[in-house]
Structure 1
C-alpha cells in the first residue's frame, strides 16, 4: 500500500479556521504601514544562491547549514529565500530604485525557508513581514521603525508582553578592532567554551556573544564590551536613537551581547522579545546595514530594516487571548431558501443587498435541503442572523429575519427594507 501524502515536516497548512486571524494580523500591519508611507514590494521566493552567500555571509549558520539549495535544469544553483533583506536589496539594485540617492521605504510579506529542527514557533517554511529603508542615514529612521512596531503592539494589545533590546555594532572598522580584542580574550578561556563557540571563534566570533550555553555565558561576563570600541560616528548615532525613543516614551534595555545572526548588520541592531513563548522569544528584529548595497555591487547606500515572524506573533496573540471575537465569525447573515422559486428570488435579493451593503458578509444557502438542515448550516456558519425565504414569504414580498445569537423574535421584513434593516442590526450593531 502506498504511503499517504502529507505536508513536508516543518511546512504547515494554514487551515480555514486559522486564516481569519492571519488576515486580521496582516491587514492590521498593512494599514499601519500605509499610514507611515511604506510601499509594498513583492520578490520571488527563489534566488541565485550566490545572492545569499554574498549578503548573509558564507560562515553563518544560515548559509552553512539551513538553506534549501538545488540545481535547476540549466545547472544554476538556486536557493529558496531564507530571509528577505538580500532579495529586496537585489530588487532595488536591479530596478534602480535608489538611483541619485532617492529614499525608498519598502515592505514585503511572504514565506521564508530554513532547514531547522521544527518546534513550536520555529518552522522550515515560516512567514515574515519585513521593512527596508534606503538612503536615509540618521537615527530618526531607526527610531521610526521601532516606533511603528510599538504602535503595532498597541493595536494588537500585546505591549505588556514584549520588551525592546538595543545594541550598536559600530562600523566595520570599529567592529574589526572589537573582534581582535574579543578573540584574544576568548582564546585565553578556550577550554571553558562549548564546542559550537570554539568553532565560531574561528569563523564568526561575534556570534559567540549570543550563545545559550551557560558555561560560555559565564566566560562572557568579563569579556570586552562593544560599547568600549565604538567609533564617534556610531556612538553619536546610537545616542540619537536612544534620545528619540525616550522622547516617544518607548522603554528599552541595552543588551551588549545582541549581535544578530547575519554578517551585514552595522550600527543599530534591535530585537523585540517576549517571555510568553518559551525558547522562541524573538518576535521582531533588525537593524542597520549601511554597507550591504555596496557589498552587492551597488553604489554606497545606507539601509535599515527589520522582519517580524508572523507565526510567532499569531501564537503570541493566541497565548495572551488577544484574538478579537469578531474575526472568528466569517458570516454575518445566512439566507435560507426553500423551493426553486424562492431560490431564484434569494439570488436576486442577495445581490441587491450586496450592492447596498458591500461590507456585509452574506452567505446564501447552496445545495437546497430541508428547513432543519438549512438552519443547522446557518447556525454552524456562525452567522448572527438567519433570513428565511419560502413560498409564503415570496407571495407577500417579505423575508423572515431570525436572530441566532441572542434575544429577539423572528419578524418579517419587506424586500425593499431589508438592506436598511441589516445596516442597523449588523453593520452598526
Structure 2
C-alpha cells in the first residue's frame, strides 16, 4: 500500500491527488491501520515486559562436572580439621552470649523486630576482629578494599541474577512512593557489580580482586527456619570477595574461583574451625552460578554443620547483563567473567567460634589468630551486673537450641 501511495504522489499534482478516489481510499485505509496499531502498542509493551522478565529467569549454563539434583546430591570435596571434644554439657551460642553479656536477641520485637540482635563488649570486638583479620589477609593477597552503597536500583539486582520484585521474601524494597526502585542489598556482591557496570577494564590489569565489608539485609520471611539465634537474621556484617577476569583461554574464571576457595579454606583454618567443602548440585546453584562451592562448619551445640560461606563462578552471566567488559590490546571489547565468594559472614562464624571454643565455666577462648585484634585470649564474664529486663514480656526463656531444618 505504501508503494501505491508513493506512485500516486509522484505521478499527480497535489490538486488532482486529493480528488483521486483510489488515493482517498488508501489514505483512509492507512488511518485505520494506524489506529489499530495504536491500540496494540500497550499490548506489545506488556508482552515485551513479560518476555523480559521470563528471560531474566533463565539460568547460567552449568559446569559439566556439577552434581545433578537437590542438596542431598552435594559432593564432599574436602574435610578440614577435627570436631572439638568436650567433657561437659555444651551451651549454644545464644546461651553463651547472654551469660557473657555479649549478645542480646530476646525481647527485641518492640525495638527492632524479630531476627535482629545486638553485639556488645567482646561480642562487638569479636566482630571487628573477624572483619579486620579477613580484610588484612585479603589485601596481602592483592585485593583492593571497597565500600559500596547499601541501596541499589533494581536493574543492578537483575543484572546479578536476582529479581527484587519476584524475591520480596528475601529482598527489602524501600517505600516506592518516596524512593522509586531502591532496594537494600543482601550482599555487597550487588554493589561491587554495580561499580563495574558499564565500564571496561584493560586486559593486562585482570584479574581484578575486590574485598568489601558491608551490612547485609535479608527479609528471611520463612518463619519455620532457625527462628532463634544468629543463624538466620535480618541484618548482618559480611566480608565479600569479588573478582573480574578475562575470558581469553576459557579457564581464567575457573582458576580465580579455585583461588577464592583456597582463600576461604585458609581463613577458616586460621580460625581453627572444623569444616567441609561441598561441590553444590544443580538445584542449589542459583541463576548466575556456573559452578558453586559451599563451606559448612561444625557447630557443636547444634550438633550439625552449618553453612558459613559459598563461592560462585558466574562466567559471563552477570557481565552480559551489566555490560562489564574488558579491552584487548587490539582495542576489541569483550565480556568479562565474574567470581564472588564469602570471606567472612560474621554471625555464622560467631556461632562456630563461640560453640567450638567454649570452656566448662562458660567463658570462651579467643582463636589465636584473633587475639592480637581482641587484646585478650579469653572472653571473660562481665565485671558488672547485666541489665535487668523490666518490660512487659516477662516470659522465661530456656535458651535451648532448636534443631536445624537445613
When normalised by structure 1's length, the TM-score is 0.50
Report if aligned partners of 2:151, 2:183 keep a CA contact under 8 Å in 1: yes
What does residue range 21-60 of structure 1 map to in structure 2 within 5 Å? 21-58=126-163
Report if aligned partners of 2:215, 2:235 keep a CA contact under 8 Å in 1: yes
Counterpart in the other structure of 1:269: 292
Do structure 1's residue 132 and structure 2's residue 237 form an aligned pair?
no
Partner deviation per Cα, 1:159-205 (whole Å, 9 max, x = no partner): xx1001125x8xxxxxxxxxxxxxxxxxxxxxxxxxxxxxxxxxxxx
Report if aligned partners of 2:154, 2:164 keep a CA contact under 8 Å in 1: no
Q: 1:77 aligns with which of 158, 165, 181?
A: 181
Q: Distance in 1 between matches of 2:236 and 2:270?
A: 23
Unmatched 5+ stretches in structure 2:
1-107, 247-251, 326-334, 358-364, 385-406
Relative to structure 1, the CA distance from residue 317 to residue 44 in structure 2 (aligned partners, 3 Å threshold; closer, same or farther) is same
What does residue range 30-429 of structure 1 map to in structure 2 within 5 Å? 30-58=135-163, 63-71=167-175, 76-93=180-197, 96=199, 98-100=201-203, 102-103=205-206, 104-116=208-220, 117=223, 118-120=227-229, 121-136=231-246, 137-158=252-273, 161-167=274-280, 207=283, 259-260=284-285, 262-266=286-290, 268-276=291-299, 277=302, 281-291=306-316, 292-299=318-325, 300-307=335-342, 308-321=344-357, 323-324=366-367, 380=383
Q: Distance in 1 between matches of 2:214 and 2:262?
A: 23
Relative to structure 1, the CA distance from residue 302 to residue 313 in structure 2 (aligned partners, 3 Å threshold; closer, same or farther) is same
Report if aligned partners of 1:101, 1:301 keep a CA contact under 8 Å in 2: no
Alpha-carbon RMSD: 3.2
Q: Distance in 1 between matches of 2:123 and 2:347?
A: 11
Q: How many residues align?
A: 239
Unmatched 5+ stretches in structure 1:
170-205, 208-258, 333-378, 382-429
Counterpart in the other structure of 1:218: none
Q: Distance in 2 between matches of 1:44 and 1:11?
A: 21
Q: How far has the Cα of 1:133 moved from its partner?
A: 0.9
User: Which protein has the bigger helix share?
Assistant: 1
**1:47 partner SS:** strand
Which 4+ stretches in 1 moved above 6 angstroms?
none
Report if aligned partners of 1:272, 1:282 keep a CA contact under 8 Å in 2: yes
**1:313 partner SS:** helix
Relative to structure 1, the CA distance from residue 4 to residue 56 in structure 2 (aligned partners, 3 Å threshold; closer, same or farther) is closer
Report if aligned partners of 2:209, 2:243 keep a CA contact under 8 Å in 1: yes
Q: How far has the Cα of 1:40 moved from its partner?
A: 0.7
Q: Distance in 2 between matches of 1:140 and 1:156?
A: 25
Report if aligned partners of 2:245, 2:253 keep a CA contact under 8 Å in 1: no
Report if aligned partners of 1:41, 1:107 keep a CA contact under 8 Å in 2: yes
Partner deviation per Cα, 1:111-153 (whole Å, 9 max, x = no partner): 1111114432110112211101111525332221111122112
Q: Distance in 2 between matches of 1:36 and 1:47?
A: 29
Q: Distance in 1 between matches of 2:189 and 2:256?
A: 17
Q: How far has the Cα of 1:87 moved from its partner?
A: 1.8
Report if aligned partners of 2:289, 2:313 keep a CA contact under 8 Å in 1: yes
**1:272 partner SS:** strand
Q: Distance in 2 between matches of 1:143 and 1:54?
A: 23
Partner deviation per Cα, 1:269-328 (whole Å, 9 max, x = no partner): 100013424577110102101121111233311111212421101110111105248579
| Greater relative contact order structure (CA < 8 Å, 6+ sep) | 2
Relative to structure 1, the CA distance from residue 157 to residue 295 in structure 2 (aligned partners, 3 Å threshold; closer, same or farther) is same
When normalised by structure 2's length, the TM-score is 0.52
